Amino acid sequence: MYKSLIALTLLLTIVSCNQNNRNEKENLKVMQKEEKHKIKALLGEYKKSLNTSDAELAQRLYTKDGIFMPTEAPSAIGHENILRSYEFIFSKIQLNIEFYIDEIEVENDFAFAFTNSKGTTLIHATGDTIPEENRELFVFEKVNNEWKIARYMFNKTEPKSQR
Q: What is the pTM of this model?
A: 0.81
Widest CA span of the chain, in angstroms? Answer: 91
pLDDT at 8 over 90: no
Q: What is the pLDDT confidence band of residue 53, given thresholds at 50, 70 and 90?
A: very high
Q: What is the pLDDT confidence band of residue 96, given thresholds at 50, 70 and 90?
A: very high
Distances (CA, A) of 50 to 42, 74, 146: 13, 18, 20
What does the domain layout of the chain look like in residue ranges?
2-162
Helix residue spans in 52-140 (DSSP H) = 55-60, 79-92
CATH number at 2-162: 3.10.450.50
pLDDT at 10 over 70: no
The vertex-21 CA angle with 20 and 26, nearest 5°, equals 95
* Spatial separation of the C-alpha atoms in residues 155 and 158, rounded to whole Å: 9
